[in-house]
A and B are shown apart, each in its own frame.
Chain A
């Protein structure tokens, strides 16, 4: 199946700094990418939907200025957590849609963020 890769898998940063997480579709072009956040033992919470070349659409309650999403190409989307705080520590997962009528959305491996 299609492959979606996230980097880094693990990251620790200091409070107040910014950290960038990359999401790449390795063997297909992704018209749409989705960013999720998952707390321990909970389901996935959609943060935003990004389409290549346009601004991301954020879900209600998600701070646009804090979670910057850029979808600069059909194979790359980035999530930047700005001025990170300990409460931003979480598991962040991206997913990408292959396009067409296949309806299949593939997920990355996830990125663990710890803010100290």
Chain B
């Protein structure tokens, strides 16, 4: 079956540091890949997505590239801010409209 594995957290960084959160996946087909962000006490917000190999999703300074050869979709940001502190979830969707399969989530804390 499908699965998503994220790097274990929590991750603590200083403001303006470089961020990488690793995400790898297992899927039978060619899924779409997503990063969602969850701020404390809130639902999930779509951060970025990529629907096919070599696509790069980007938003708010975050980016991730769909790497089929390594089955990865690592999230990166060049300079994090305190406001980026949240839980980040990597997810895959096998076909349009089907269920999302989530990773475990990675807690990011950015200190001033």
Contacts and interface: CB of A to CB of B under 8 A. Distances in A.
A99 interface: yes
Interface stretch (B11-19, B42-50, B67-75): B42-50
Nearest to A108: B43
Interface residues of A, number: 28
A23 B44 CA distance: 14
Query: Interface size for chain B: under 10, 10 to 19, 20 to 34, or 35 or more residues?
Result: 20 to 34
B33 to A, nearest CB: 10
Contacts, number: 54
A103 B32 contact: yes
A103 B51 contact: yes
Given A42-B105, A43-B89, A43-B105, A107 B99 contact: no
B42 A110 contact: yes
A100 B46 CA distance: 18
Given A31-B97, A43-B89, A103-B51, A110 B43 contact: yes
Interface in A18-51: 31-32, 34, 41-44, 46, 49
A99 B99 contact: no
A60 interface: no
Nearest to A10: B41
B96 interface: yes
B36 interface: yes
Contacts of B100: 34, 46, 95, 105
Contacts of B96: 100-103
A46 B99 contact: yes
